[in-house]
Each structure stands twice: as C-alpha cells, then as structure tokens.
Amino acid sequence: MELHKNTIAIWISAEMLYMEKSLTDPRYDRKATRHETPPTAEDWALYSQALAGLRALEAYEGTEWGGPDYGTEVNEPQPRVTYEYHETHEEWLARCHKLDRSEA
C-alpha cells in the first residue's frame, strides 16, 4: 500500500479568519450590543391562525405531507434579536489586522 500526501490550500476572507479566531480569543470579537424584542400581539395572532390552518389540513384526508420522516410544525413566535455594532465592518477588520501584526 502506497501512501500519498496531498496539499490543499483554501482561500478564506479576512472576515472568516477573524470570526474563527474570535471563537478562542475574545479580542477578535466584533463588539456589539444585543437587543431582544419579545414577540408582538400580531406575531401571536398569526401563530394562532397558523395553528388553526394546520389543524384544518390535518383533518383533511387528502393532505400530503413533506415526507414519512417528519410532519409539519408550527413553531411559537421567538423574540427578535438585533445587534447594534460599536464599530464599522472596516474598523473591526482593521483592529483585528492590527492584533495579528502585533502577535507576529
């Protein structure tokens, strides 16, 4: 049996590199404030309508579902999450690039 070594180079963007580094080094995180907004009354009303529609489909004998392994689900409304970034994308990349150069 012969073993062969193959080398592969994959190009990734600076953004992907720094996002990966941020998993182990919090200095690479893009600074942001997380805002969570609970579901509105309108969201809950649409959810109720969707549940009623699902029940009507389930009651109809001719309904065909997506496949034998799963059914159709109607998930409850979830809070909306938004982020307010403390620096622009370019400022974040520049800060991370500077961190990289200081470590070299």
For the residues 12-24, what does the mean pLDDT come to?
94
Question: Which of the four pLDDT bands, split at 50, 70 and 90, describes residue 61?
Answer: confident
pTM above 0.95, yes or no: no
Tell me the residue ranges of DSSP E strands in the chain.
32-37, 80-85
Residue extents of the structural domains in the chain = 34-57+81-104
Other CB atoms within 10 A of residue 42 CB: 9
Rounded CA separation 94/100 (Å): 10
Phi, psi angle pair for 85, to nearest 5°: -80, 140
Residues in the chain: 104
Written as six digits, the tokens of 6 are: 């193959």
